[in-house]
Amino acid sequence: MFSMSGLSFLHTFYFSIAIAGAMFALFGHLLPDFSISSSAVGQTVCKQMASLCTPNLNHDEQKYQVQIFSRDPLIVYIRNFVSSDEIAYLLDISEDKYEPSRVYGGLDERPIDQKTRVSESAFMHRKDPVVRRISKRAREFQGWRGNATLIEPLLVQRYNVDGFYSYHFDWDESLAQGNRATTFMAYLVGNCTGGGTNFPFLPQPRDTRWCDVIECDEEGRDGYQGVIFKPIVGSAIYWENFHPNGTGHKGVYHAGLPVRSGMKVGLNIWSWDSAWVRPEIV
């Protein structure tokens, strides 16, 4: 049992926290650059009132710009798909979750193979409010695909110098039912040379206005064929993994090219279609 003096202390403590929270909220409203978690006092308040330190979930939906890059396969370039607040938040919560990335080899086979993939991966918790918001954005971007298509757990991947992921498909040709229907490759950190996303079977577009998001000069292309998307922070590439008849599209064969200097952090968002059935090809 608490004594009267103990109860009085608790009331005073929580009242002080509430007042501090209100002040921080007011400062955050008046000063957009103000960060509650940037001071020791702010960190203490964060522990007691975690909602104050989570990016605001009530602001207007992220405003992004969409450009069709390819129609066959369908590849869409999305500018500002992930906000700076969301990026900072994902980087923070990923820090203690990283593990060596594994190579998919079937439903029950995920070995570490540094000849194929060198990076660190961190899966995001589905129920995290920021993760749910990004997942919702990815789901709505695609339109209504039916209840059989779900967003997989989001995956943050960190590539340091010499990190890479060799050429592969996101869809699995060994499966008879259920497969990855679509992919988003978003960039959270792009402070690097190299590290682009290469589609070797895509033709380089003639319109040079694309050169702000893809590598156009020979030095940047570094001898690689096809199209290389630059890791531009906040942007995302979206593509469909299958033809309309359900067969896997060879045009989405891709790789994460080696990082020559600096670091790249990507965010993978995959859609799994449990109703997909491998078509009978005559």
> pLDDT 10s digit of each residue in the chain, 282 long?
545 455 455 455 445 545 555 454 444 444 444 444 444 545 544 544 444 555 555 454 799 999 999 999 999 999 999 999 999 999 999 999 999 999 976 656 678 999 999 999 999 999 999 999 999 999 999 999 999 999 999 999 999 999 999 999 999 999 999 999 999 999 999 999 999 999 999 999 999 999 999 999 999 999 999 999 999 999 999 999 999 999 999 999 999 999 999 999 999 999 999 999 999 875
Which runs of consecutive H residues, i.e. helices, occur in the chain? 4-30, 40-48, 84-94, 129-141, 218-221
pLDDT of residue 231: 98
Asked whether the whole model's pTM tops 0.85, one would answer no
pLDDT of residue 121: 98
pLDDT of residue 260: 97
List the domain boundaries for the chain.
65-277
Helix axis angle, 4-30 relative to 40-48, nearest 10°? 110
pLDDT of residue 104: 76
| Dihedrals phi, psi of 139, to nearest 5 degrees | -65, -45
SS3 of residue 69 by DSSP = strand
Query: What is the CATH code of the structural domain delimited by 65-277?
Result: 2.60.120.620
Amino acid at 164: F
Distance CA 254, CA 42 (A): 44
- Preceding amide of 258 cis, omega within 30: no
